Amino acid sequence: MKLGRLNHIGVATPSIADSIAFYRDVMGATKIHDPFDLPDQGVKVCFVDTPGAGGSEGTQIELIEPLPGNASIASFLEKNPAGGQHHVCYEVPEIHAAKAWFESQGKRVLGEPRIGAHGTLIFFVHPRDMQGVLTEIMETPREAH
């Protein structure tokens, strides 16, 4: 297993609309995707693109707003009312091999692989096993999102 590309940084927010305005007006973001609901994960998501070096694809910011009934993001926002960094996400070429590797290292994988916001398989690794950082592992998308 080798460290893959940093695909995105997840940022929990009480309001995607307010966060879009922040990234557009304060941070100068020029490419902000339309928000969409991920009911299976209980969140509304919006991706903000960042430029990469030499015209390459940069790391995205994933804005995450809880949908009604989402206890985990709502709990995070109770502790961090203004929102904040929630997780980091790295790409891997094959999700099941990555899951097996993390488990063989004694890391706590949170649930089975499932479809994430980019339409590819993902899983999370417990922050206590990842130096305090909730870490999402995702299979490299076949097409850019």
Tokens of 114: 């499932």
E strand or H helix at 65, and its extent?
strand 60-66
3-state secondary structure of 48: strand
* Active site members: 136
